[in-house]
Amino acid sequence: MESQEPTEDELLALLCHPAESVRRSATRALWELWFAEKGDEGLDVFDRAGELVDRGHYNEAETLLTRLIDRYPEYAEAYNQRAIVRFRQGRYREALLDCEEVVRRKRWHFGAWHGKGLCHKAMKQYSLAVEAFTRSLEVQPYALRRELQECCKLLN
């Protein structure tokens, strides 16, 4: 009998499971699913972009990811990876726009919601950061809450 891989919805539901090991496995499986949506082509671009970022070649990494987005405009994870590159360069507004594209395509993408929170926090837009971190925690309720707590303190 063949074992069937869990669906994205099933994995998302497991993010609320009381056992940490189950949540961790579901989180890892979701990332793998999101990365692999365009098969080897997408995975190869992500690998090359990661290598470029590791060497500090952010513009080249961004170019690769932008080409992937141009080819597959519905590919949410490509926007998410480009957001990470832009965030690491301090280009928070552009990174935020990419995160918004991700959640437009996958409203449950906890990584993009967290990224939105980080961008708003970096721009000292703490109430918007709190909103974004809260949305991330709605999907992944056991995730780290440190960023949310810091922004709440900064609001007071």
Average pLDDT over residues 18-40: 95
Mean of pLDDT values over 107-113:
96
Asked whether 113 and 136 are in contact (CB, 8 A), the reply is yes
pLDDT digits (tens, 9 = 90+) for 37-87: 999 999 999 999 999 999 999 999 999 999 999 999 999 999 999 999 999
Which DSSP state fits 5?
P
Domains, the chain, with CATH or none: 8-155 (1.25.40.10)
CA distance 147 to 51: 28
Residue 38 has what pLDDT? Answer: 95
As given in the structure block, the two tokens for residue 85 are: 């590159």
CB 150 within 8 A of CB 121: yes
Q: What is this structure's pTM?
A: 0.91
